Amino acid sequence: MGETLDDRALVERILSGDRDLFTQLARRYEKRILNYVYRITHRYEEAHDLTQEIFIKVHVALDRYDPKFQFSTWIFRIAQNSAIDALRKKSLPEVSLTRTPGEDGEEGREREIPDPGVSPYRDLKNKELSAAIDVAIEKLPSDYRELIQLRHFGELSYEEIADMKKMPLGTVKNKLFRARNMLKDELESFVEPL
């Protein structure tokens, strides 16, 4: 049976020449990074592509990782910066949903828009609740929204978040408590009375 190395030991072995172990490191974080990036971009295919780019960046910059810090903090910081950069670069032009005169001879007829696919998150049975949660999270102040995304979609520990955001642990816990209360109040209409 192969030994299970912690993140720091795995990085050390990769940097010592065992480059094949990078796949193992990537597997540990792939789903969490994808979920986290999706929560920022709200585009499933884009989140997939961006996740791949993030792992390329991590691979290239692995020698700059400082083992004094949690690896998860370092990789999520790269993910966050990459997702924010992608949002800044992306400005989608607006397109009319109806055809203009002379376009394919179909004046006034609605355009057909291809379905980009359905994310696993959207496959949940209660789509209405899922949409309400998305809206409620978007309504949170940005610092609270970011902490909720890191904790619940990035699955980072309180300590990792405190490390990443350079905040005292108590502040992280307090802000997450407040953010959850805001979400609870916002989603109150979806909770059935006992």
Whole-number pLDDT of residue 106:
54
The residue that leads in pLDDT, 74 or 131, is 74
Whole-number pLDDT of residue 23:
92
Whole-number pLDDT of residue 44:
84
The crossing angle, in degrees rounded to 10, of helices 158-165 and 71-89 is 60
Residue ranges of the domains in the chain?
A: 1-90, 124-188
- Running DSSP on this structure, what letter comes out for residue 150? I
pLDDT greater than 60 at residue 117:
no
Domain 1-90: assigned CATH number:
1.10.1740.10
Return the closest-CA partner of residue 27 out of 5, 60, 1. Answer: 5
Query: What is the token pair recorded at 73?
Result: 């903090």
Q: Would you identify the CATH topology of the domain 124-188?
A: Arc Repressor Mutant, subunit A (1.10.10)
How much of the chain exceeds pLDDT 90, in percent? Answer: 32
CA–CA distance, 57 with 79 (Å, rounded to integer): 9
Query: What is the token pair recorded at 170?
Result: 């108590």
pLDDT tier, 1 (very low <50, low <70, confident <90, very high otherwise): very low
